């Protein structure tokens, strides 16, 4: 894979981005504000919030630290949602 080609966002990355978008909206924090807080470019953050590329684990760690400990629920909720999806898909396969 060429170095410039990033892997597609997987289910956990998409769930994390969705939870982060929702949490940012609830707190009225823009992507630009988030980028400034975590010392990333707005383009980098926006690309990941749109699921065009995955956040790295380092990104997740920096985001949670920058936004405060109360924001760790974003990661936990994303993981919980991921656990529910496969079970629902198995039920559809059995039908």
Three-state SS for 38?
Answer: helix
Q: Strand ranges (DSSP E) for the chain?
A: none
Domains and CATH numbers, the chain: 11-87 (1.10.260.40)
Is residue 62 scored above 50 in pLDDT? yes
Rounded to an integer, the average pLDDT of 15-23 is: 91
pLDDT digits (tens, 9 = 90+) for 64-95: 888 876 666 777 777 787 776 555 455 555 55
Is residue 46 scored above 90 in pLDDT? yes
Query: Whole-structure pTM over 0.75, yes or no?
Result: no
């Amino acid at each position: 894979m060429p170095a410039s080609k990033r892997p597609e966002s997987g289910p956990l990355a998409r769930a994390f981005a969705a939870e982060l978008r929702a949490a940012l909206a609830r707190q009225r924090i823009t992507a630009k504000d988030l980028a400034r807080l975590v010392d990333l470019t707005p383009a980098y953050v926006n690309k990941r919030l749109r699921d065009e590329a995955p956040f790295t684990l380092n990104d997740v760690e920096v985001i949670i630290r920058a936004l405060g400990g109360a924001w760790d629920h974003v990661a936990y909720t994303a993981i919980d949602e991921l656990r529910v999806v496969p079970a629902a898909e198995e039920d559809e396969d059995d039908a």
